[in-house]
A and B are shown apart, each in its own frame.
Chain A
């Protein structure tokens, strides 16, 4: 049983959640998230409320921003949902004006993967606004659709982080990443022996981001997966925090004066 993992460092978590999860009676309140982050020495965490995923992205983005203003170690993740159609462009603009530089789209959870037109429009709007996008891609074809939606495989400034990539579609993701230097991976579902190591070898550690999906998921599962990986200590530090901090320094802008 692991009580103390080898080494320890400050951790930056690229993907956390708070709010509610309708299909499970699990406590993922903001308080629980904060407690989890404290317990695991996470000094920076990107987060969003599930209100924006399941209910109303305008309200969700407001709640996410409010939580992050109150807790400055949290980085807000804004989101929009094309099924609503109305208001998403303003929501992207408002979030940018309020200082959001990180967005997430949930086409699988929300069930609109096949609406490739909306995906392209949203992805281009978000990337065109100078933000970084986290995009669900746990299914076969997801990484390919993500790459197509970015519109230009060679532009490394267009930063997309694929979430949910797992042993079933890691090969596809790595193939896509070879063509698209701006696409990175969240490690939360890279559970297989060798998966993180191969991703690091083929795409480079700078494109891997530790994300826990905590407190919906156990924090230690994806965390220990990285800690006990075959990566060098330097690469582990990059994946477990340095890469997210570097993105934050590069993309974060102060909120507009009128926001």
Chain B
């Protein structure tokens, strides 16, 4: 965590939202707990409580444990690992339970099918906020189209897909207030995502919103 913080600080990152890879891979309890312990003494980080619709009771318990804490910024579902569509009854049950914590759900949806499933759930729960990781990867046009239809969908514009038109297209389509910067570090070096923002054909004030103000608003920082 110290190395991660040092690397991100090189790029003027002031706060970073982070999830446990152990929890994403399956061990929710240990992963979330060790993350909670790690971030307790590091104000730089905010945690995502990883939840998994294959383990709804445990996921509810994890949300109850961590989401009331100020150093947890939301929940995270990685559907590629848990193999449940984002519109499954169990996923919707977790989204419904998340509502009372008033914190966003960070989701991985990297193809048009996943995004379609997300559209259904986002439509069913309009007061929940969904953050689409890496703007859907190479399916970013579909992710932008989803965010255009659903005002409760936020786009994380980082990741490893550096298509030169994606940020401007996203801003032109959904406006500048629903994009946030996510480095996806350490899977992606922060220089890569910062390079996208630097090169994007956008005004400096819009870049500032993407890199800072929007996240502060969405995570209530």
Real binding pair: yes
Taking a contact as CB atoms under 8 Å apart, the answer to whether A25 and B165 are in contact is: yes
Taking a contact as CB atoms under 8 Å apart, the answer to whether A1 and B207 are in contact is: yes
Taking a contact as CB atoms under 8 Å apart, the answer to whether A217 and B162 are in contact is: yes
Closest to B184 in A: A191
Q: Which of B181-203 contact A (CB under 8 A)?
A: 185-189, 191-200
For A225, give its contact among B186, B195, B197, B211 (CB under 8 Å). B195
Q: Which of A75-96 contact B (CB under 8 A)?
A: none
A217 to B197 alpha-carbon distance, docked (Å): 12
* Residues of the A chain whose Cβ atoms lie less than 8 Å from the Cβ of B194: 1-2, 220, 224
Mark B167-193 against chain A: 1 for CB-CB distance below 8 A, else 0.
000000000000000000111110111
A202 to B91 alpha-carbon distance, docked (Å): 43
For B198, give its contact among A3, A25, A189 (CB under 8 Å). A3
A209 to B188 alpha-carbon distance, docked (Å): 19
Stretch at the interface among B6-14, B31-39, B57-65, B75-83: B6-14
- Is A246 located at the chain interface by the 8 A CB criterion? no
* Residues of the A chain whose Cβ atoms lie less than 8 Å from the Cβ of B163: 24, 26, 216-218
Taking a contact as CB atoms under 8 Å apart, the answer to whether B192 and A222 are in contact is: yes
A223 to B164 alpha-carbon distance, docked (Å): 14
For B162, give its contact among A24, A193, A221 (CB under 8 Å). A221
How close is A116's CB to chain B, nearest CB, in angstroms? 26
Taking a contact as CB atoms under 8 Å apart, the answer to whether A191 and B196 are in contact is: no
Taking a contact as CB atoms under 8 Å apart, the answer to whether B189 and A220 are in contact is: no
For B160, give its contact among A191, A223, A227, A229 (CB under 8 Å). A191
* Residues of the A chain whose Cβ atoms lie less than 8 Å from the Cβ of B207: 1
A213 to B196 alpha-carbon distance, docked (Å): 13
* Residues of the B chain whose Cβ atoms lie less than 8 Å from the Cβ of A26: 163-165
How close is B117's CB to chain A, nearest CB, in angstroms? 23
Q: Which of A196-223 contact B (CB under 8 A)?
A: 213-223
Residues of chain A having any CB pair with chain B under 8 Å = 1-3, 24-26, 166-167, 189, 191-195, 213-225, 227-229
Residues of chain B having any CB pair with chain A under 8 Å = 7, 10-12, 141, 160, 162-165, 185-189, 191-200, 207-208, 211
Question: Can you report 25 residue pairs joining A to B where beta carbons are below 8 Å apart?
Answer: A1-B12, A1-B208, A2-B194, A2-B195, A2-B198, A24-B163, A24-B165, A192-B187, A192-B188, A193-B185, A193-B187, A194-B186, A213-B162, A216-B164, A217-B164, A218-B162, A218-B198, A218-B199, A218-B200, A220-B199, A222-B162, A222-B195, A225-B191, A225-B192, A225-B195
